[in-house]
A and B are shown apart, each in its own frame.
Chain A
Amino acid sequence: MSYTLEGRTGTWEIVVGLEVHAQVISHSKLFSGASASYGGEPNTHVSLVDAGFPGMLPVLNHECVAQAIRTGLGLRARINLESRFDRKNYFYADLPTGYQISQFTHPIVGEGTVEIELSDGTVRHIGITRLHMEQDAGKSMHDQDPTRSFIDLNRAGVALMEIVSEPDIRSPEEAGAYLRKLRQILRYLGTCDGNMEEGSMRADVNVSVRKAGEPFRTRCEIKNVNSIRYVMHAIEVEATRQIEVWEDGGEVDQETRLFDPSRNETRSLRSKEDAHDYRYFPDPDLLPLVVEQAWVDELERELPELPDDKRDRFIRQYGIPRYDASVLVAEQAIADYYEEVAKGRDARLAANWVTGDLFGALNRTGRSIQDTPISAQALGGMLDLMADGTINGKIAKEVFEDMLETGDSAADIVERKGLKQVTDTGAIDAAVADVLARNADKVEEYRGGKDRLFGFFVGQVMKAMAGKANPAIVNEALKKVL
């Protein structure tokens, strides 16, 4: 199943590559000792290095290098033991030095791959071209004054990883799946928090269109899209625009564009005359970065279990379907929660309760797994009561709702409400006899071959016993009498 767009002259396919800027989790900046934390008073997380004062020299943060290598390993990519820093020259008010220190010709991480899964179950591999380290710029505020822009350099010099994909993406859905997967990997690794709303992960989207079998046509780059949904919209809108340009006999210009979600359109950001010429050259303040293979190996040994590996293990170890396993590994905290519930219990039942009732409850109450009102131990305790026959599945739903509201343990709720399952066959037999006596006509029909009525009898008996009867015993008792 491939994604295409219909134009007047036929069917078009889209070609997309993504450049993701991921802010590195670190205490201090890439080349200075100023704090890299978010939300300080304006211009307080700034050293004279970040402010571009003369004579200041950059000194590389060791941990940022480790984070880039961890990320490279998580993307199953080649780690380049020797890499270099270059200056990317351009003028902008929030870039005090007039250049960004980046890695152009020799990035720290080379080719890798990310596995994505689409809604129809298709698995695709998206190539990673490279990952390199670079500095973030400061922030300009244009709405504080009629004639001036205000500059805050707190972000200037914070470490970013730019992760560039191959032009392997062929639909908005694939772009969304790729970004979600990348974010998941970064969060598992603890190298970037992946919060697109706060700008700690942002995407530049390269889009072109072509007819089947053609080589690539000219692409446009849509800058700084800050949500996965917007990336997906922007691709469709931009591809549609390009198809119109081509079909009207025009040429698509290679240019930078901006996505405006409120008008659902992209527009040109910089005139061609102003197209950037960055005049990259090796930063003379920084020697080549050489890392030892032994250190890379050590970082690799310390990596956490990655989402794909965890999913495969869940399928093997717990015997749960692939879809459930994918859902459960979406976040590390969810996976940990599930494993605690499943430990020593019916793992499939545990998966059903976590992905069904628990997720439903979290959605309803607007909570996340981190502040779940029902702990893994508490949910496990409830499953234990089901396993030992104290409560049945129907009562369990009631107990679960009560746990959600009161935070009490399942055992306390069962005790308080008197919900203990009735396994006393005498009581059940009596209820069965009573139901059959009151429904003599239905009994006749059942015996006449209307098998479906069995369910009706079960329901009536359960109702008579306020849902507390053990369903297996009820079934057995009914079968015996009927």
Chain B
Amino acid sequence: MSLDPATVRRIARLARIGIDESDLPALQGELNGILGWVEQLNEVDVEGVTPMVGTGHAALRTRPDVVTDGNCRDAVLSNAPDAVGPFYTVPKVVE
């Protein structure tokens, strides 16, 4: 699998990363290098092997339905660059 410049541009856009046209060839080369390396996995025959999701055998942990958290607005807003009263704010989003 290899990525063309249009796909690289699209991935950047989906990730909301602005890139210069001049950076495209270098990024394309790097991404294709990563993909090529990962593609070595295709050499392993996994016919009939159940997909493994982790090395542990632990089951997913669940918690009881109890309110144990929240009511920490100051902490929640502590990193907000432009909080107004009890709210985060962002530059106006209009669909």
Q: Does A293 contact B (CB under 8 A)?
A: no
Within 8 A of B (CB), among A77-124: 84, 89, 91-93
Q: Which of B18-26, B35-43, B87-95 contacts A (4 or more CB under 8 A)?
A: B87-95
Which residue of chain B has its CB nearest to the CB of A83?
B60
Can you report 12 A-B residue pairs in the complex whose CB atoms are below 8 A from each other? Answer: A27-B65, A33-B67, A35-B67, A41-B86, A42-B85, A44-B86, A46-B70, A47-B69, A62-B64, A145-B84, A150-B87, A289-B60
List residues 67-88 of chain B with CB under 8 A from any CB of chain A.
Answer: 67-73, 75-77, 79, 82, 84-88
CB–CB A60/B95 < 8 A: no
In the complex, which residues 1-43 of chain A have their Cβ closer than 8 Å to any Cβ of chain B? 26-28, 32-35, 41-43
Contact with B along A276-299 (1 / 0, CB 8 A): 010100100011111000000000
**Closest chain A residue to B84, Cβ basis:** A150
Q: How far is the CA of A270 from the CA of B72 in the complex (A)?
A: 35
In the assembly, what is the distance between CA of A27 and CA of B70, in Å? 12
Which of A51, A61, A287 sits near B65, CB closer than 8 Å? A61
B interface secondary structure, majority: loop
A264 to chain B, nearest CB (A): 19
- The tally of residues in B whose CB lies under 8 Å from a CB in A reads 38
Given contacts A34-B69, A140-B93, contact A42 B87 (CB under 8 A): yes
Number of interface residues of A (CB under 8 A): 54
Assess whether B70 is in contact with A60, with CB atoms less than 8 Å apart: no
Residue in A closest to B74 when the chains form the complex, CB atoms: A43
B44 in the interface (beta carbon within 8 A): no
Query: Given A62-B64, A150-B88, A286-B60: A142 and B93 within 8 A (CB)?
Result: yes
Residues of B within 8 A of A (CB): 10, 14, 16, 53-54, 58-73, 75-77, 79, 82, 84-95
Q: Shortest beta-carbon distance, A360 to chain B, in Å?
A: 41
Please report the C-alpha to C-alpha distance between residue A277 and residue B84 in the assembled complex, in whole angstroms: 32
**B70-A287 in contact (CB<8A):** no
**B70 is contacted by which of A34, A42, A144, A286 (Cβ under 8 Å)?**
A34
Select the residue from A26, A43, A51, A270 with max chain B CB neighbours within 10 A: A43
> A43 to chain B: which residues have CB within 8 Å?
73, 76-77, 86-88
